Amino acid sequence: MKSNRIILILIFFGIGYFLYYKDKPGPIGKLWETVSGVFKTKGSAKDEPNPYKAPEPDNEATATKNNNEATATNKKTDNSKSDESSDDHKSLFDKIKDKVLDKEDSPPPVADDVIPDFALPAISKSDEIIRHKNYILRYEEKYEVPAWVVHKLRGEYTKGRANRGDNQFIPDKKVENNSALSTDYSNSGYDRGHMVPAADFKCCQELMNETFYMSNICPQVPDFNRGIWENIESRVRGWALRDKELYIVTGPVLTKGMKTIGRYNEVAVPTFFYKIVLYYPAGSAKNARAIAFLLPNEALHGKRMSSYVVPIDQIEKVTGLDFFAKLPDDIENKIEAVSDWDLWTDD
């Protein structure tokens, strides 16, 4: 009986000794590595590339390769009964964290083509129309800038944890003959000015990232972009919080003989920019109203944004565009004839 106890003690001591030294250098560690290698499954999940890892944004060739590999890996995973889901590799803490964050931080529902036709300017067959998740634009390859960009802005979109990150401006591959490049703006003295502001989509990182497509960018004087233009964008976000939902049309005034910048493309530098804001409550069209701004692309220190409020009709004259062409004529004529600052603010 006593000898049995001694044997059991020696066995437990030996197991503990082995477990302690199996991950350490030495003969026991080498033995464990050999034994575990025999039973290791070929092509296990640990050795497979992570299909959810995002490509590096600065290397387009690497990004394309990684995206293709991710697609192939995802298909292989879907078709194999023996593969484990990515959730199986998460710790219990990660699973609990995901569930909590999903409830707290889930973005508002955003679907493709959420912008109704009545919010768009008139479109002809020759126009190059680019659609992204929550904005639509008409790109002018002659000038390498958009003629107009339309997006829907809900108050809830302006709140969240999305951030600008490293400001990775990227070419828009949806443009038929390629958009301008970020490097076209380097050392030009002009900002890469957003038409759809990044801060309008703090709700969702994906939507904010899409505002950095170069098809959404125009050259702007730094003091203009960071001054009165930014102030107008911020004021519009305040209106969206109050009015719940707005439609916004933004763009440059494109004319012949504009100055150009660009190392690889000739990017036109507009002398004026416009922004039009439409409130069109569903089921209550009679309460529709709009306000429009037309501003020179220059430093406007000390100027009030209300000084640049103009009728939409005036912007149509200088751009040649027909805004809100699919609204009922009586409503379109009403909102385009008058742009009243007092209807939007108590300032």
Mean pLDDT, rounded, for 27-44: 48
Instruction: Say what percent of the chain tops pLDDT 70.
Output: 67
**Mean per-residue pLDDT of the chain:** 79
User: Is residue 269 pLDDT above 60, yes or no?
Assistant: yes
pLDDT digits (tens, 9 = 90+) for 185-217: 999 999 999 999 999 999 999 999 999 999 999
Q: Determine the pLDDT at residue 73.
A: 43
Is residue 301 part of the annotated active site? The answer reads: no
pLDDT digits (tens, 9 = 90+) for 82-102: 343 444 444 444 544 444 444
Catalytic residue among 132, 151, 194, 301: 194
Range with the poorest average pLDDT among 41-45, 168-172, 324-328: 41-45
| Range with lowest mean pLDDT among 27-36, 91-100, 253-262 | 91-100
The residue-averaged pLDDT of 170-174 equals 96
Q: pTM (2 decimals)?
A: 0.70
Domain ranges within the chain, ordered by starting residue: 1-42, 117-343
Please say whether the structural domain 117-343 has been given the CATH code 3.40.570.10.
Answer: yes
3-state helix/strand/coil string of the chain: CHHHHHHHHHHHHHHHHHHHHCCCCCHHHHHHHHHHHHHCCCCCCCCCCCCCCCCCCCCHHHHHHHHHHHHHHHHHHHHCCCCCCHHHHCCHHHHHHHHHHHHHHCCCCCCCCCCCHHHCCCCCCCCEEEECCCEEEEEECCCCEEEEEEEEEEHHHHCCCCCCCCCCCECCCCCCCCCCCHHHHCCCCCEEEECCCHHHHCCCHHHHHHCCEHHHEEEECHHHHCCHHHHHHHHHHHHHHHHCEEEEEEEECCCCCCCEECCCCCEECCCEEEEEEEECCCCCHHHCEEEEEEEECCCCCCCCHHHHEECHHHHHHHHCCCCCCCCCHHHHHHHHHCCCHHHCCCC
Higher pLDDT pick, 176 / 22: 176
Give the pLDDT of residue 27: 56
More confident residue, 6 or 226: 226
